[in-house]
Structure 1
Amino acid sequence: MNEKAYYEDVNLKNELKLREMLKKMPAFCKQFFIGIEPRTSSRTRLAYAYDLDTFFDYLKQNNPLLKTVDVTSLPLSILNQITPQDIEEYLFYLKYYEKDGVAHANDERGIKRKLASLRTFYRYLYKNEMIENDPAIKVDMPKIHDKTIVRLDADEVALLLDVVESGENLTARQQIYHEKTKKRDLAILTLLLGTGIRVSECVGLDLDDVDFKNNGIKIHRKGGAEVIVYFGDEVRQALLGYMEERNQIEALDGSTNALFLSLKKSRINVRSVENLVKKYAKLVTSLKNITPHKLRSTYGTALYRETGDIYLVADVLGHKDVNTTKKHYAAIEDDRRRSAAKFVHLREDN
């Protein structure tokens, strides 16, 4: 029996989770998820489900007429009674609330995402004439305040890779595991820093996704597109060093084709990669909270500084909209504009 590709397995699990969630949601939600399926990823649909579940739970808890009504029995007509002001109150509620004794909080980005989910939901129902009005479109998106982009400097990148190779300053317990994983860890961090791929794309790599003849890896992007990303000699050497070890490991069923394995001989997961990045990065910098995504930003910054080509950076990182890339690298853009001042001389020096 052929092994499922990582992304196929993820899609299947997300779809099963979504179906379980739909059992607890109003019946009319099912048509929405069927309708958006052709143009959305399984991950996006699952995120919509979590956001809508929060919205319907809010309606039930905060509307006296609905307190005794089971969420699954909420009528579609209830959506026609929602006003823009009701949605604004919901967004205010999202800043901090408690559910089942657990406190939840959302920053401006979390609130914006939940409003975006609600807008998509209402837009679909209104477009398909299932409801009479669309109040969500009348609610302004929260203003997002820019955050400083955290990335590693060039000297920190070199130091990070040195630490992975040597294991210096790791605890005694960490040293024991380090001897077993250092080639794998070096390959993973070098690959993330040398290609800018997402952590999910990294853990999803199979052995036959690596092409050493052309120095490329085949990855599946968030939206489902299959692309080839190319790597340099440093990444090549790190991968070859790990492959010698990987070829000697007999992986568990279901992971026999996985490139990166855990100590349990199954495909390494996203959380494990996040933890190993955090472990090594803390030895390099205590001020920066380095995650796999920050390594992606580090790569994008280095590539843009070397090429000055924002479209190339957007393409390699898999950004569908170049404006997303520009937003992340605006500070570097400003540095480049400042440097222009020294290149044009109006008079020769005396």
Structure 2
Amino acid sequence: MGAETTGASHERTERRGEDLQQLLTAFATHLRAERNRSEHTVRAYCADVRDLLRTVLPGAEDGVLDLGLLGLPDLRAWQTGAAAGHQRSTLARRAAAARTFTAWAHRTGRLAAQDPGLRLQAPRRSRDLPRVLAQSQVQAALEPAVAARADARADPQDLRDGALLELLYATGCRVAEVVGLDVGDLDFGHRQVRVLGKGNRERVVPFGDPAARALQAWLQRGRPALVGPASAEAVFLGVRGGRIDQRQVRTVVNRAVAAVPGAPHTSPHGLRHAAATHMLDGRADLRSVQELLGHATLSTTQIYTHVSVERLRSSHRQAHPRA
């Protein structure tokens, strides 16, 4: 007990004179080490907290912060001020960032009196149904990939792009999961891939024969042409030989889908939506789709059942003579 008290006292001594950047650095460390948050979440939460403190604590950039001045009315005023310019999902994230920050600050003695975030409410996240590519549209977007791997003189980038598209749709993986793949994560014998998802949760996802052929064409005929000192074991490479980044993958998907007449604008996440919806259309059970997508809760997966029902209703209205 004495050691814990001494440690806490030492921590408070080190924190004396904390400025905004030091505070945010400590908060980011907490998010990574204790909350196991992704880098994307860490950046978003820290940006939200920076905005909060700049808004409600005048002079936050100029010197030592006194978080004791931070109260529930300040949190609510900050939240209300942002309501006009942000979507519900953004407002919900900002509230979550504020609550996480005040809970951490209270626990570490930075907010000694009370945690004002306990009573901060957030709007419910909107559950708008995503626009999903039809199976025929996905098929059309993948046709150039099929043609590329049948061409012995295909450009390495075309082989890579085809393998990316096939794998994204076959597995429903997030773009960050596909970008992070190493060659050793692919198991062609069982046609499955090991991915590291949100919260560092690992899962194994199957893929079909088209994706297997596309990956093998890329690894055997395309990747050797781009490999370089920075390649390491990355499956997908950029033109300079390093691991491909998410922006390049988005460009690949956008270009492929834009070439399909009538297809909605789609990101890599759109292929994830399509994979989930088409599986449910094919009568896959919800629990299997949850496992495929790596959702922590079944409620997140359930939005795709609503998508399938809406598609059924739309088909019924168009085709049934007494709809």
Question: Could you tell me which of 130, 142, 164 is aligned with 1:161?
Answer: 142
> 1:74 matched to which residue of 2?
65
1:90 corresponds to 2:90: no
Question: Could you tell me which of 8, 20, 25 is aligned with 1:25?
Answer: 20
Give the aligned residue type for 1:122: T
8 Å Cα contact 1:301-1:329 kept in structure 2? yes
Separation in 1, partners of 2:245, 2:21: 33
Shift of 1:252: 2.5
> 1:122 matched to which residue of 2?
102
User: Once the two structures are superposed, what CA deviation does each residue of 1:153-186 show, in whole Å capped at 9, x if it has no partner?
Assistant: 111011111144459xxxxxxxxxx844211111
C-alpha change, 1:152 and 1:335, in structure 2 (3 Å) is closer
8 Å Cα contact 2:155-2:222 kept in structure 1? no
8 Å Cα contact 1:26-1:73 kept in structure 2? no
Q: Which moved more, 1:287-296 or 1:31-40?
A: 31-40
Shift of 1:247: 5.2
> 1:274 matched to which residue of 2?
250
> 1:133 matched to which residue of 2?
114
8 Å Cα contact 1:281-1:290 kept in structure 2? yes
| Matched ranges for 1:226-237 at <5 A | 226-237=202-213
Give the aligned residue type for 1:240: Q
Q: Name the SS of the counterpart of 2:214 in structure 1.
A: helix
Shift of 1:293: 0.3
Q: Which moved more, 1:137-146 or 1:222-231?
A: 137-146
Q: Name the SS of the counterpart of 1:307 in structure 2.
A: coil
C-alpha change, 1:248 and 1:126, in structure 2 (3 Å) is closer
Shift of 1:28: 4.9
Give the aligned residue type for 1:131: A
Shift of 1:205: 1.1
Give the aligned residue type for 1:149: P
> 1:7 matched to which residue of 2?
none
Shift of 1:216: 1.4
1:315 corresponds to 2:309: no
Shift of 1:132: 2.1
8 Å Cα contact 2:226-2:237 kept in structure 1? no
> 1:205 matched to which residue of 2?
181
C-alpha change, 1:75 and 1:199, in structure 2 (3 Å) is same
TM-score (norm 2): 0.80
Separation in 1, partners of 2:177, 2:137: 24
Give the aligned residue type for 1:38: E
> 2:7 matched to which residue of 1?
none
Uncovered stretches (5+) of structure 1, i.e. residues with no partner: 1-22, 61-65, 97-104, 168-177, 338-350
8 Å Cα contact 1:164-1:280 kept in structure 2? no
Question: Could you tell me which of 91, 113, 137 is aligned with 2:93?
Answer: 113
Count, aligned residues? 290
Question: Could you tell me which of 300, 305, 309 is aligned with 2:281?
Answer: 305
Separation in 2, partners of 1:259, 1:268: 9
Shift of 1:135: 2.8
8 Å Cα contact 1:26-1:72 kept in structure 2? no
8 Å Cα contact 1:27-1:72 kept in structure 2? no
C-alpha change, 1:216 and 1:71, in structure 2 (3 Å) is farther
1:295 corresponds to 2:271: yes
1:38 corresponds to 2:14: no
Q: Name the SS of the counterpart of 2:34 in structure 1.
A: helix
Shift of 1:54: 1.3
User: Once the two structures are superposed, what CA deviation does each residue of 1:327-350 show, in whole Å capped at 9, x if it has no partner?
Assistant: 34323257789xxxxxxxxxxxxx
Q: Name the SS of the counterpart of 1:329 in structure 2.
A: helix
Uncovered stretches (5+) of structure 2, i.e. residues with no partner: 1-17, 149-153, 314-323
| Matched ranges for 1:10-21 at <5 A | none
Shift of 1:219: 1.2
Separation in 1, partners of 2:62, 2:278: 50
Give the aligned residue type for 2:98: L
Give the aligned residue type for 1:49: C
> 2:8 matched to which residue of 1?
none
C-alpha change, 1:112 and 1:72, in structure 2 (3 Å) is farther
8 Å Cα contact 2:230-2:241 kept in structure 1? no
Shift of 1:26: 6.0
Separation in 1, partners of 2:261, 2:82: 34
Q: Name the SS of the counterpart of 1:229 in structure 2.
A: strand
Identity of aligned residues (%): 25
Q: Which moved more, 1:124-133 or 1:26-35?
A: 26-35
Separation in 1, partners of 2:248, 2:229: 19
Give the aligned residue type for 1:39: R
